[in-house]
Amino acid sequence: MKRLVVGSRDSRLAIAQSMSLIRYLKEALPDMEIELVTMKTSGDRKLDRSLFEIGGKGLFVKELDAALREKRVDITVHSLKDVPLVIPSDLPLLGFSIREEPRDVLVLPEGKEKGCRFDTIGTSSLRRGLQLKKIYPDISVKPIRGNIETRLRKLDAGEYGALVLAAAGLLRLGLEERISRYFSVEEIIPAAGQGILAIQGREGEDYSFLEGYLDSAAEKEAVCERAFTAELGADCTSPVCAHAVTQKGLLCLTGLYFEEETGKYLTGTIKGPVEDASLLGAELARTLRERSGREKKL
């Protein structure tokens, strides 16, 4: 029997995400032995400082990339929002899962009723922190790192009044009962790629067996969103974000541009054919950057 090894981070969420692919593979490849190999990444180990201080999103894929190159695993599964914009040519992204719930959510301490008052929100996302100021102008934002379970324990222990997390992670873990409020994508624009899984492999190998798992709409949305952030040179130190929706052959992209000099941000929307996904992302980024420049001169 042939063997196919799937690589994943070792968090409960990462394993749950990888299992969605493994279930598909076991049906699509009944004669193949499917194995899951997990590993702790540098981003999982270094929790005492913010992500941009320790090296950015690449720390969540470094060890998995090495395992691919050394052929210890055959494919790897990532949350797309954790994947750096620059992808090694020898380790291409093979495609994307269907997009699950993209929105962010508010989580209250266990036992607290919806609508209760709180004075601190835990998040280490600059993107979330910036947009939360508009929704909760009198509430302080406090950094937090760690996996979902760690964050929930800190919340329930009273270290935070509330958390903001990605809905997709809670839903994948069966923790939907912890969700107190969904923020609309207009209230908090999601991170580029939020709710989408990325599958990565080695250049030159046959991965045609993934065809039934990969989603073309999610691919167009991912390409569009990542083109927006790439055009702005955004990384984990920037709250730049983008969210695209595919409808009837068209893409509607909403993006946020942050002006570091002023601390202000602009949002905008663009719509066009799905075939122009990358062009649309880059065009909206340039439009917002130019608009910001004009407004600074006024």
Active site residues per annotation: 82
Amino acid sitting at position 186: E
In Å, the largest CA–CA distance within the chain is: 69
Please list the alpha-helical segments (H only) found in the chain: 12-28, 42-45, 51-54, 62-69, 126-135, 148-156, 167-172, 216-231, 277-297
Q: How far, in Å, CA of 293 to CA of 276, rounded?
A: 26
HSE value, Cβ hemisphere, 13 Å, CA-based, for 31 = 3
Residue 236 in 3-state DSSP?
coil
Nearest in space to 251 (alpha carbons), one of 268, 267, 271, 265: 271
